[in-house]
């Protein structure tokens, strides 16, 4: 890499490290690499839709099993079409 005289090499190294770090974090936000421990749901897990989304049904009728967790943190649910987010489900007790 070519450096002009008078440029502080340490400052350039710090800037280079900062760019690399921010790029890695951007990958996570865009659905790139997802840390295994940072996922709110797992395949096979039973979730319960919030009562506001399925009025008049008991918790048992609103319970479904997750079939797949997508890279964008949404899930596919057995028996229900479409992708679903964590906000659609009751908090785990």
- Taking only the tens place, the pLDDT of each residue in 62-92 is 999 999 999 999 999 999 999 999 999 998 7
CA dist list (Å): 6 to 11, 12, 17, 86? 12, 12, 21, 52
Between the CA atoms of 39, 43, 46 and 49, what dihedral angle is there, to the nearest 10 degrees?
60
| CA distance linking residue 13 with residue 18, whole number of Å | 9
pLDDT band at 13 (very low <50, low <70, confident <90, very high): low
pTM of the model: 0.58
């Amino acid at each position: 890499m070519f450096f002009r005289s008078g440029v502080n090499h340490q400052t350039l190294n710090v800037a280079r490290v900062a760019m690399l770090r921010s790029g890695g974090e951007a990958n996570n936000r865009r659905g790139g690499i997802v840390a295994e421990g940072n996922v709110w749901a797992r395949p096979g897990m039973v979730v319960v839709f919030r009562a506001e989304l399925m009025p008049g049904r008991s918790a048992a009728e609103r319970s479904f099993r997750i079939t797949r967790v997508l890279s964008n943190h949404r899930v596919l649910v057995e028996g229900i079409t479409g992708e679903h987010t964590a906000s659609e489900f009751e908090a785990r007790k």
